[in-house]
Amino acid sequence: MMVEGLNYEIAGRVASVTFTRPESLNLLTGDILIALGCITGALADRPDVDVLTIAGEGTSCFSTGILTPALRCSLSKEEVLRLIRLANASFDAIEALPQIVIAGLNGMVRAGAVELALACDIRIAGDHVTQSSPEAKWGGFPGVGAPVRLPRIVGVGRALDLLCTGREIDAEEMLRIGLADRIVASDSVHAVLADMARIIAENGPLATKGTKRIVRTREASGFAAARALSDELRAALEWTADVDEGMAAVREGRKPIFTGR
């Protein structure tokens, strides 16, 4: 899979995706999102692969997400929504994979990258990791699954806290509320990720894939309705005055004045 900013490999029964542009904070470009969709499409038909890992190079950044304020300001509203729909399709496909998907959070995780991590089955985080969903500060809300997936992991109250304040949390809090399943030293994220993938891949594939299928089936009730509402509200949001005000405030370096319109 030859895409700038992404490396894809299969070794034995483990597939791995690595984001390779830390200088751009591993921004999830349209090409990368398309590549993730192609990868998941291929993996869904690979019974000889049991685990997929997703991480960034180094120790500084997992990803800054899909739409930074600067990028949003350079795109039309239709282009923004096309990118969001593309990300939704890719992340939904990752969650639907029969393989166990493990995210190795090797550094900062922000905005749409949080939503990618939420689509994974297991999250390993370095003890230096920070995570935030700042979209509300920009006048919007996460449109790629966070309002749908986050409450089932951390509960409704904590989800509303994180999404409506946009506050940044550290690895310790991530572990405490369930956003990270294991915390490891910052320089050992990749080694622990590879080791966990190897252990799972050595176990019975009918056992691991069957367990995931049961767990996801149990959680599926209500997901489709929530996803449809998220898509509807996010599309409508793009044409509101609040979104325009949020982007203008970022450009002008001031605090936004939201009116709820």
pLDDT at 252: 85
**Structural domain contains residue 155:** yes
Residue 74 domain boundaries: 6-188
pLDDT tens readout for residues 51-60? 999 999 999 9
Whether 68 maps to a domain, the answer reads yes
Domain count, the chain: 1
d(CA 18, CA 11) in angstroms, rounded, equals 14
In a domain, 121, yes or no: yes
CATH number of the domain that residue 161 is part of:
3.90.226.10
Residue 237 maps to a domain: no
Spell out, as residue ranges, where the chain has pLDDT lower than 50: none
pLDDT at 39: 96
Q: pLDDT at position 205, please?
A: 92
Using the CB atoms, write b or e for 40-56: b if 16+ within 10 Å.
beebeeeeebbbbbbbb
CB 66 within 8 A of CB 87: yes
